[in-house]
Amino acid sequence: MVDQVLQALAEPRRREILKLIRFQELSVGEIASHFDVTRPAISQHLGVLSSAGLVTVRQRGTSRFYRVRPEGLTDLRQFLEGFWDDRLELLVREAEAEERRITEMTSVQSDVVVREVRISARPETIFGFLTDPALMVRWMGKNVQLEPHVGGIYWVDINGEAIARGEFIDVVPNQRVSFSFGWEGDNHPVPPGSTVVEITLTPDGDATIVRLEHSGLPADARADHGHGWQGYVDRLAAAAEGRDPGPDPNRIVASER
């Protein structure tokens, strides 16, 4: 049960949900109104918290109401009493690493590839790296054309051979961008415009939770795209935090390998 509680708490949004319902009982809709994510996504988070014994659920008519279950933290509190020193940070990091491993394993098996990272920068800073070509090339692509408005061009030349193309579907400054996505080239299994990428920015103190969801991919393309996006969200984090992401390994074309 301790492992299950740690995994549940490793996700920042679930911790925020617990704070929200610590002293009050709220429905899924009321909880979702505090977050820039869909109601089904909040329901999934509540399902994880419920399975870990951290919330109580009360049915009233067709609605469910949630509240923190304080005794759900008892086992964890007892476990941590022996580690209430410099090992606490290590435990949290291990739980977060486990959460990322679980996300990577499950996301490529579902219909949507999901990658999430916490970046030590404000949403308005990160938003620029998603919409300004001069900033995007610091972490993705060697040539970029972006028109960040509905119907505008999304075009990223990775290495002269791998070229992504689509158009912007939704642009909410400092909160969210979504665009159609695919690869130029004859008979490519993921042609231009055939899939959708959505990137959301959720403030987390002085940092930001960046969540990327890539939907519509063929089953045999999800693993490769999941691996690719993991590398790019890591590079985005480095660039947005003012660090050098280093050379992009994807800029080496197949003929040069």
Same domain for 80 and 120, yes or no, is no
Looking at residue 88, its pLDDT comes to 62
- The model's confidence at residue 135, banded by pLDDT at 50, 70 and 90, is very high
Looking at residue 168, its pLDDT comes to 97
Average pLDDT over residues 115-136: 97
Q: Of 46, 65, 95, which one is at a domain's C-terminal end? A: 95
Question: Helices 12-20 and 2-9 sit at what angle, rounded to 10 degrees?
Answer: 90
Average pLDDT over residues 12-24: 92
Close Cβ partners of 41 (under 8 Å, ≥ 6 residues apart): none
Query: Do the domain assignments include residue 104?
Result: no
In this model, does residue 257 exceed pLDDT 50?
A: no
Q: Of 191 and 111, which is predicted with more confidence?
A: 191
Same domain for 88 and 208, yes or no, is no
Same domain for 145 and 215, yes or no, is yes
Rounded distance, CA 11 to CA 154, Å?
31
In this model, does residue 12 exceed pLDDT 80?
A: yes
Average pLDDT over residues 198-204: 96
Q: Are 208 and 118 in contact (CB under 8 A)?
A: yes
Rounded distance, CA 203 to CA 187, Å?
40
Helix, strand or coil, per DSSP, at residue 198: strand
Domain harbouring 29, CATH code = 1.10.10.10
Rounded distance, CA 156 to CA 71, Å?
51
Looking at residue 105, its pLDDT comes to 54
User: Which residue's structure tokens are 């795209």?
Assistant: 225
When the pLDDT of each residue in the chain is averaged and rounded to a whole number, the result is 88
Q: Which of 51-65, 105-119, 164-178 has the lowest mean pLDDT?
A: 105-119
End-to-end CA distance of the chain: 48
Query: Do the domain assignments include residue 101?
Result: no
Q: Which backbone phi and psi does 36 adopt, to 5 degrees?
A: -95, 50
Number of neighbours of residue 38 by Cβ within 10 angstroms = 11
Domain that holds residue 68: 2-95
Rounded distance, CA 54 to CA 71, Å?
8
Q: Of 31, 61, 95, which one is at a domain's C-terminal end? A: 95
Same domain for 86 and 42, yes or no, is yes
Give the predicted TM-score (pTM) of the model.
0.58
Same domain for 122 and 247, yes or no, is yes
Same domain for 235 and 134, yes or no, is yes
Average pLDDT over residues 181-203: 94
Q: Of 2 and 198, which is predicted with more confidence?
A: 198
- The model's confidence at residue 78, banded by pLDDT at 50, 70 and 90, is confident
Number of neighbours of residue 99 by Cβ within 10 angstroms = 19
Average pLDDT over residues 69-76: 84
Same domain for 123 and 220, yes or no, is yes
Q: Of 2 and 173, which is predicted with more confidence?
A: 173
Average pLDDT over residues 72-99: 70
Strand ranges, E, within 38-122: 55-60, 63-68, 112-119
Q: Are 164 and 154 in contact (CB under 8 A)?
A: yes
Average pLDDT over residues 12-36: 92
Rounded distance, CA 164 to CA 158, Å?
8
Looking at residue 108, its pLDDT comes to 46
Question: Pairing mode, if any, of strands 55-60 and 63-68?
Answer: antiparallel
